[in-house]
Chains A and B, each alone.
Chain A
């Protein structure tokens, strides 16, 4: 097991276009790192450079302290999980897991030890002597994981592994991968374009755009303290609302009335131009009649006409149209194109309680939690109100959780012994929110 450090990695394909442009990223030993971004952002290219499938144009790829730029894939001892999930009908489940070791002529007792440990972790113990024909879909996938485990690779790599599975199996496998990674405490890099997958699986998420890192942080930090418009728009579903705003004193004038900023944020925004964008997540709204008195003064209240409501049983969304100047709509259109998302229309998506009686086509009163809004520079996309310290704290918390979970797993003897995680891991190896 090993850390993976990337220093100023550049990849130019034949046409000279930098598919990956000056990426520096440290992945700690035992960490689960997600590479995410829209199609063409370079996430697969980056993963392939880790594996050794693409030559690195410049920069250093360091795995376990060793520069691997010039090593063949095999010499890097990494495991692309699910690359081979064929099941061989005449071999037992045991042998289906063991064969990579057989091929490398590992002694029998060592094979037995590793397969037994892997099958414990994967809960395949009862099936070891059976033929694979009758395994369920999930069990088959676990056999494939078992193969990866017994190799004792430095790290696991996944490239959109679930994209071709049906929805049910995908959900199962997502849980399975997360659980396994925790138990083994093995360094993992996972590529996906699905932000939901990114937010639920990783310790940290690296958001890429056009070959460059935008932000590396825990899911919560990305969600609460995005560095820019791109990250803010990419993370979260339904996405963050962006409204035009102008600053007057300590308040933002928006299509949904004035929003008061606290002193820190007002100061950060002051003098940053006439026209601003205020970003408000759907969850920061509520039906004003359902907000308790204690909370009410922490936000602002406005009236608006609801275009459509969407009731999902346990939640409800209201769509509120608003006016925006041309400059803003152009900017937002470009952003939604880049994010492969549906065309952003100038209407806010607002989450309201499932019990709310707000109706379509009527005016209603909404409450908006002004503590949590962010203000962006529409030109550069920069988040002017990002609280870096608060963000770092969120990522630090995630790191501590991870270390604790790995230790728990080790204490209960669930890890695979070849995969020892050095004692001091986690301390200092993480730079929360490091970009």
Chain B
């Protein structure tokens, strides 16, 4: 047998003791972790926990495994939202298929979970828009997905919004650029699959009454075309409008979740022509900034939220001491004095239902809500206490992310 994995390979080493020579289907259930809400799959897919980390294992023909391994590696390097690949195991005895190993995307939710809960905080519209952002991003990067579906997308909460990640790249193709036909075909496949997945939920009586599978599926092309146009269209305007039109466009793209790479502005007597090149990577400016200051790894909107709080705290520190406080010091103090106490307030039995940064975001929301009611600022500590008592317990237990479950036992 041969194992191929990318450094850092320490994760890989921990997995070497697993029974790779046996068909995945026959692995001892004691080695495996149940993930009840996972998507539909044609291959045998299993989950294992090793040293507190969770991995997804998929048994698949070697050429496909190699292909998916290579592509997922590229996607990660380029900052495209996808699951992170660890490696593959090939040359298994008896001519068995290869196994692809990816890192479990913690705190992710499947569509089955999201759709089958009528009380869910996320609307169907939000879900579809999120999916379309992912598809447009991939298309901008020249990637034909070939299997865009709800099963192949994982959703994560990002400061109340949803973010979509690609989980299955086995049919994906990389091209220098996609033709219109390729984009539309990919979209057509997505429409059909999403429609079928929703019909399936309906057949299983798991879909809320108000959701019509056909309407939802048919809305995909409309949403896609709108977003694609917003992101890629060239604009022509008068020279005197130039300044605010450019700023407006860039702001709009940011709001849609895209970072801008290069801006090309061609002016002539008739006016200005604006072409904006969008970065394919998901925006990461705030994420990187927060990581630099605190070492926390969170998602982009969460990072923006946390940074805002950090800045407020820094201003408070400076005001109190009457002297400037460096960024680095402020970061460390905020982490220890503000962030960590909130996270520590989560009782063990409620841990893992939401990502810590998402809890922090919700606590800030809760604080705002309580302060409104009280007519004064109640403070983060009181808000956190109230939140873990009244709000967090209402998040369904099945949301608990596998690594937390694994570390409990």
Contact = CB atoms under 8 A, between A and B. Distances in A.
A413 to B, nearest CB: 30
Given A73-B181, A90-B200, A91-B199, A102 B151 contact: no
Interface in B177-222: 177, 179-182, 184-185, 188-189, 191-193, 195-197, 199-201, 203-204, 206, 214, 217
A99 B214 CA distance: 10
Count class of interface residues, chain A: 20 to 34
A428 interface: no
Nearest to A104: B214
B61 interface: yes
Given A86-B40, A103-B214, A164-B64, A51 B185 contact: yes
A54 B179 CA distance: 6
Interface string A37-79: 0000000000000011111000000000000000011100000
Interface string A393-411: 0000000000000000000
| Residue from B64, B193, B196 having most chain A Cβ neighbours under 10 A | B196
Contacts of A51: 181, 185
Contacts of A12: none
B200 A88 contact: yes
Given A84-B193, A86-B193, A91-B200, A55 B64 contact: no
B153 interface: no
Count class of interface residues, chain B: 20 to 34
A102 B63 contact: no
A221 interface: no
Interface string B30-73: 00000000001010000000000000000001011000000000
Contacts of A99: 192, 195-196, 199
Interface in B245-298: none
Contacts of A86: 40, 42, 149, 151, 193, 196
Contacts of B149: 86
Contacts of B204: 89-90
A264 to B, nearest CB: 47
Contacts, number: 83
A102 B182 CA distance: 24
Interface string A218-254: 0000000000000000000000000000000000000
Contacts of B189: 83-84
B40 A103 contact: no
Contact of B203 (A13, A74, A90, A163): A90
Interface in B80-114: none
B375 interface: no
B196 A164 contact: no
Nearest to B171: A83
Contacts of A14: 176-177
A68 B262 CA distance: 36
A106 B181 CA distance: 25
A102 B203 CA distance: 13
B388 to A, nearest CB: 36
Contact of A72 (B151, B177, B184, B200): B184
B192 A89 contact: no
A97 B203 CA distance: 14
A95 interface: yes
Contact of A73 (B176, B188, B197): B188
A411 B233 CA distance: 55
Contacts of B180: 55, 72
A89 B188 CA distance: 22
A46 to B, nearest CB: 14
11 contacts: A55-B180, A73-B185, A73-B188, A74-B184, A74-B188, A83-B146, A84-B196, A86-B193, A86-B196, A88-B40, A103-B195
Interface of B: 40, 42, 61, 63-64, 146, 149, 151, 176-177, 179-182, 184-185, 188-189, 191-193, 195-197, 199-201, 203-204, 206, 214, 217
Closest 5 CB pairs of A and B: A90-B204, A88-B200, A90-B203, A73-B185, A52-B181
